[in-house]
Chain A
């Protein structure tokens, strides 16, 4: 089942960090710049490798979008899929939708029994630290396979442009 390695205080189990919490994936470089279209378009995707989670844990997702131009609205959504594609992707959250030039948001999900639960996807908010009358939403998150977390933007006017400037996935087990 692999080799456990202790390197200067770090600890890897089967090649995956066992430090708690730990960064699964991070990008502080601009993703794909989205312009010339009003379709929902991937700007950045980050991979949660298979077996990052075993039975249960917490997945924290953080991102920032910036927009250039003020002709239309900006919508930023987060999805999960088994590939880095929006086709067939499952919506995890809507960070913002409005006449914004800056959208930065965070979500904390529970991973349990091959499912992921969090604040209802109908909540268009930057933070899920809320007290609501809606039950959490739930969808499949098979931990034994690769899962892609997709950060997508949608422009209200194709002449504007938007980009995911940074995104981060953190694991708590």
Chain B
């Protein structure tokens, strides 16, 4: 599934989420993202703005950009 970045957050599965805290990397492929609607688990199976990532740290940086 694709994640589309928006100002101070992202759109995923037709819902907007706004960041509320620091993203935590929990494994080599997964992260916990604190948002206004709870902590969401995102992983490298997702694309960000239609771009694939294989490094979770680069994935997190792209999510925040």
A interface residues (Cβ-Cβ under 8 A, vs B): 38-40, 79, 82, 86-91, 121, 137-140, 154
Decide: B40 and A90 in contact? CB cutoff 8 A: yes
Decide: B12 and A90 in contact? CB cutoff 8 A: no
Nearest chain B CB to A121 CB, angstrom units: 6
Known: A40-B26, A40-B27. A86 touches B41 (CB 8 A): yes
Q: Can you list 20 A-B contacts (CB < 8 A)?
A: A38-B27, A39-B27, A39-B29, A39-B30, A40-B27, A40-B41, A87-B1, A87-B43, A88-B12, A88-B42, A89-B41, A90-B37, A90-B38, A90-B40, A91-B32, A91-B41, A121-B39, A137-B38, A140-B37, A140-B38
Decide: A91 and B29 in contact? CB cutoff 8 A: no
Nearest chain A CB to B23 CB, angstrom units: 13
Q: How far is the CA of A40 from the CA of B28 in the complex (A)?
A: 10
Please name the residue on chain B nearest to A81 by beta carbon.
B41
Besides the contacts A121-B38, A138-B38, what 12 more A-B pairs have beta carbons closer than 8 Å?
Answer: A38-B27, A39-B28, A40-B26, A40-B27, A40-B30, A86-B41, A87-B41, A90-B40, A139-B38, A140-B37, A140-B38, A154-B26
Question: Which residues in B have their C-beta under 8 angstroms from that of A139?
Answer: 37-38
Nearest 8 pairs of A and B residues by beta carbon: A139-B38, A91-B39, A39-B27, A90-B38, A89-B41, A86-B41, A139-B37, A87-B45
Q: How far is the CA of A140 from the CA of B40 in the complex (A)?
A: 12
Q: How far is the CA of A91 from the CA of B30 in the complex (A)?
A: 13
Question: Which residues in A have their C-beta under 8 angstroms from that of B7?
Answer: none
Decide: A91 and B38 in contact? CB cutoff 8 A: yes
Q: How far is the CA of A91 from the CA of B45 in the complex (A)?
A: 18
Decide: B41 and A88 in contact? CB cutoff 8 A: yes
Nearest chain B CB to A95 CB, angstrom units: 15
Question: Which of the listed residues A40, A121, A137 has the most CB atoms from chain B within 10 Å of its own CB?
Answer: A40
Please name the residue on chain B nearest to A86 by beta carbon.
B41
Residue B46 is within 8 A (CB to CB) of chain A in the complex: yes
Residue B65 is within 8 A (CB to CB) of chain A in the complex: no
- Per-residue 0/1 for B7-40: is the Cβ within 8 Å of any A Cβ (1 yes, 0 no)? 0000011000000000000111110100001111
